[in-house]
Chains A and B, each alone.
Chain A
Amino acid sequence: MDIAFSRLESEVAKFVLSESIPAFANSFRRTMISDVPKLAIEDVIIYDNNSALFDEMLAHRLGLIPLKTNLSEYKKKSECSCGGEGCSLCESVYTLSAEGPCLVKSSDLIAQNPDAAPVTGEIPIVKLEKGQKVVLEAHAEINTGLEHAKWQSTLACGYKTYPVITIGDNCDACGHCADECARHVLKLAKKSVEVIDGKLIDCSMCKLCEKACVGSGWEDAAIRISSDNTKFVFVVESDGSLPVKEIMTYALTDLKDKSDSLVDVLTNISGAL
């Protein structure tokens, strides 16, 4: 299996996974979405809240704020030595205190550990009128997207199969397909249409070109769109809590660890028989 990046930044990655199978691409995607842990606010102690939002709505909004996560610093509450009670190894504590009139934003959330602060300070939480007040304490913990979407570290995470465009000999260079293409993948050359260099990856496989080709009088379309089932074009976006590279590495390590432990267990079984 090979991986070739066309873009790799801290929050976005685009790459082509080749010599693979659809099941692997899908497992990789599912693992990145649901099995990579991150911090999110789970418990909120509300001391004072006479804002327009109910306590539970406020707690829900707080939970969805992405928090910067250092996975080596925190562990899951259920696996912590404190036994799930909550300690500095498995919990990050925040305080919020605001009095109206104002717009309470994520920057008002003061983290005890500055490394676990909200990703951006611009997320609105609640609008307060004169005399309204919110005072609370929030506890964030590590968990995975399988438990709740607030612990999902990817935003857009998906793939498509690599497009394959075949242009037959019966192409008469009428150009209808190139006009029809919404992604501007095709161009008109002397004798037939051609794929513009480097544009193939943009093809969404909508098959409008095939329809245009049949519509222009051919019984059998000269242009055919198919897909390569061994190559996958991935887009992975992070919400900022973890860098994309770490999300990918964690997901692959997770799949690898599962396989390794399965090998161990099966070796024990065949040894016992």
Chain B
Amino acid sequence: MEIKIIELTEDKAKLTFVGENHTYMNLLKEVIITNPDVDVVQYYSEYTFSDPILLVTTKNKKNPIDIIKTAAQQISKDCASLLAQIEKA
């Protein structure tokens, strides 16, 4: 996955996800928002087919990059557990 940093401060991150669309971005957003340290999370595309931009701001100066990372790890863990169950079926 390719990422471009637009803005990165201690409690705010604005990243472009190259080549991604709603399929992954919506899931990532919904998982990030379950984190209580998150203030605002949203993604948007400037134009219909342009790369989506993810905006994360946090409370108490928590590192937004770590929060996105935890969410991605959570998704990966869920997929792995489902894969193991399908393998057995």
Contacts and interface: CB of A to CB of B under 8 A. Distances in A.
Interface of A: 1-3, 5, 8, 17, 20-24, 26-27, 30-31, 34-35, 245, 248-249, 252-253, 255-256, 258-263, 265-267, 269-270, 273
Nearest to B33: A23
A263 B76 contact: yes
A261 B2 CA distance: 9
Going nearest first, the 10 A-B pairs with the smallest beta carbon separation are A23-B30, A256-B79, A259-B76, A27-B27, A30-B23, A261-B1, A259-B72, A259-B75, A262-B72, A266-B69
The dominant DSSP class at the A interface is helix
A27 B5 contact: no
Given A2-B85, A31-B23, A259-B73, A270 B63 contact: yes
A56 to B, nearest CB: 25
Given A24-B78, A262-B1, A252 B83 contact: yes
B28 to A, nearest CB: 8
A29 B24 CA distance: 11
Given A259-B75, A262-B72, A35 B83 contact: no
B61 interface: no
Nearest to A248: B86
6 contacts: A23-B27, A26-B27, A253-B83, A256-B79, A256-B83, A270-B66
A249 B83 contact: yes
Contact of B79 (A2, A23, A245, A252): A252
B6 interface: no
Contacts of A35: 23
A255 B24 contact: yes
Contacts, number: 95
A253 B79 CA distance: 7
Given A23-B30, A252-B82, A265-B2, 13 more contacts: A1-B78, A3-B89, A8-B89, A17-B82, A31-B23, A34-B23, A255-B75, A259-B72, A259-B79, A260-B76, A263-B69, A263-B72, A266-B3
Nearest to B87: A249
B24 A27 contact: yes
B31 interface: yes
B62 interface: no
A11 B14 CA distance: 42
Contact of B86 (A252, A258, A261, A273): A252
B81 interface: yes
A33 B29 CA distance: 21
Nearest to A8: B89
Contacts of A30: 22-23
Contacts of B81: 1
Interface string B1-45: 111010010000000000010111011111100000000000000
